[in-house]
Chains A and B, each alone.
Chain A
């Protein structure tokens, strides 16, 4: 059975790619909100926000990318829900194939579609004056963090998609995730926040991820922040993976 893992995976990836290329509207939907936030914060609120950075688009960029990914994974949950409720999982599972490829196909779809939205948003930001002095290695590090972040959220999405009873239930879970960057250093420095909010903001995962990406993009030393960020991503991913597999085995 495992001898077929790669050819089965190839079929699932082919399926995923078709799903992405035929539902580009979902990628556009995902990018609209982050781009709107980008415009709003840069051209409306930005002037009144004192970040200490001379370029507010640069300051904003990491948080916007995280918001894009957080809204992108709601489609991952949606696609999983559809496969579960339409009997596609049953068909695949009653066939002599490597079963795990069914779920990994979805994970890969999630990675590719989120990568596409991230690239689109970066292009828009470039037009708005986003500049980075980061070298290839720093960009690779940024990509790595974003991939890990996407994987972590994808497994959360898998829990939601596989356990949801209705389509409405599927998308609701991503709202808090989209909101989390607002209470972090993504839009404004945490210094201006009241102490309780500040304590939360500084110790929740988004801040460390945002700070690491921001430092990498500005070609600044990342310090310890990046390890905290990676620990958060890996930790969330492992816990979510564990529960997602539990739900997967129970429901599918």
Chain B
């Protein structure tokens, strides 16, 4: 059995004259969290779209769960799920209906039960019968990820899962991602936030202008830089820490 969930070799893709992905190689180990880090326009989404069979590469090869994305897209689609950049939920349907719809499309035996379990797990039970259009950004993203978990995919693609979320919702998503990896799912995640890659990823690849310029574990990447100097600096709380502390205090009081 292969120990790699995703293998990419010499991947290239252009849109007309725009060369977006210029020869990318990487491998993702089973059950790990892999972060593709890069700024906007680096080519992250293009790579995700190729790996999830939405787009064909110009050259190079890519296999997902040891199925080739070009010659065997059906089996790739059966192994993965994609959570795109925008929460792809049907806003006219309720949260529950969204989940049931996806469960039916996976031909599961008890779509209602699957939906109920996920609503419970993602803290959406109370909002289950409200239309998704009334959900907050964080709730929408949670529903979106819940929809992606239906059918127990072996590999999950999360394309910038926390872009546009507030700090609390971001931490919730991080928790979900960690739980997924703990349960053996391979997580392929793209992000433009350094902190996110640092917090979550077992392995990080830095994509810049269509090429991977560095990759490895956080420790390995740190070694690329001169050894850290020891300086004593008073630890100031970051605004995020302050914000979260205040919010938590409020919630405690409310309870």
Binding site for B on A (CB under 8 A): 1, 4, 7-8, 10-11, 14-15, 18-19, 22-23, 86-88, 90-97
A95 to B157, CA, bound (A): 12
The answer to whether B152 has its CB under 8 Å from any CB of chain A is no
Task: Select which of A90, A95, A96 is within 8 A of B84 by beta carbon.
Answer: A90
Contacts of B54 in A (CB 8 A): 90, 93-94
Contacts of B93 in A (CB 8 A): 15, 18
Which of A4, A10, A91 has the most C-beta atoms of chain B within 10 angstroms of its own C-beta? Answer: A91
A230 to B129, CA, bound (A): 45
Contacts of B104 in A (CB 8 A): 7, 10-11, 14
Contacts of A1 in B (CB 8 A): 74
| Contact flag A90-B88 (CB < 8 Å), given A8-B105, A95-B105, A96-B78 | yes
The answer to whether B92 has its CB under 8 Å from any CB of chain A is yes
Binding site for A on B (CB under 8 A): 49, 52-54, 74, 77-78, 80-82, 84-88, 90-93, 97, 101-102, 104-107, 131, 147, 151, 157
Residue of B nearest to A90 (CB): B84
Q: Contact: B92 with A94, CB < 8 Å?
A: no
A91 to B102, CA, bound (A): 10
Residue of B nearest to A79 (CB): B92
Task: Select which of B49, B77, B85, B90 is within 8 A of A95 by beta carbon.
Answer: B77
Contacts of B82 in A (CB 8 A): 90-91, 94
Contacts of A88 in B (CB 8 A): 88, 90
A97 to B102, CA, bound (A): 10
Rounded to whole Å, the gap between the CB of A54 and the closest CB of chain B is: 46
Q: Contact: B107 with A18, CB < 8 Å?
A: no
> Mind listing 27 A-B residue pairs with CB under 8 Å?
A7-B104, A7-B107, A8-B105, A10-B104, A14-B101, A14-B104, A15-B90, A18-B92, A18-B93, A23-B92, A86-B91, A87-B84, A87-B85, A87-B86, A87-B88, A88-B88, A90-B84, A90-B88, A91-B82, A91-B84, A92-B105, A93-B53, A93-B54, A94-B77, A95-B77, A95-B81, A96-B77
Contacts of A4 in B (CB 8 A): 107
Which of A4, A10, A19, A90 has the most C-beta atoms of chain B within 10 angstroms of its own C-beta? Answer: A90
A19 to B85, CA, bound (A): 24
Contacts of B78 in A (CB 8 A): 96
Name the 9 nearest CB pairs between A and B, nearest first: A87-B88, A94-B82, A87-B84, A91-B88, A96-B77, A96-B78, A94-B52, A11-B104, A87-B86
Residue of B nearest to A99 (CB): B77
Which of B78, B91, B92 has the most C-beta atoms of chain A within 10 angstroms of its own C-beta? Answer: B92
Task: Select which of A14, A18, A86, A96 is within 8 A of B88 by beta carbon.
Answer: A86
Rounded to whole Å, the gap between the CB of A174 and the closest CB of chain B is: 21
Q: Contact: A19 with B92, CB < 8 Å?
A: yes
Q: Contact: A95 with B106, CB < 8 Å?
A: yes
A189 to B133, CA, bound (A): 48
Residue of B nearest to A85 (CB): B86
Task: Select which of B85, B88, B92 is within 8 A of A22 by beta carbon.
Answer: B92
Which of A8, A18, A22, A94 has the most C-beta atoms of chain B within 10 angstroms of its own C-beta? Answer: A94
Q: Contact: A86 with B92, CB < 8 Å?
A: no
Q: Contact: A97 with B92, CB < 8 Å?
A: no
Residue of A nearest to B150 (CB): A95
Q: Contact: B97 with A94, CB < 8 Å?
A: no
Q: Contact: A18 with B147, CB < 8 Å?
A: no
Rounded to whole Å, the gap between the CB of B74 and the closest CB of chain A is: 6
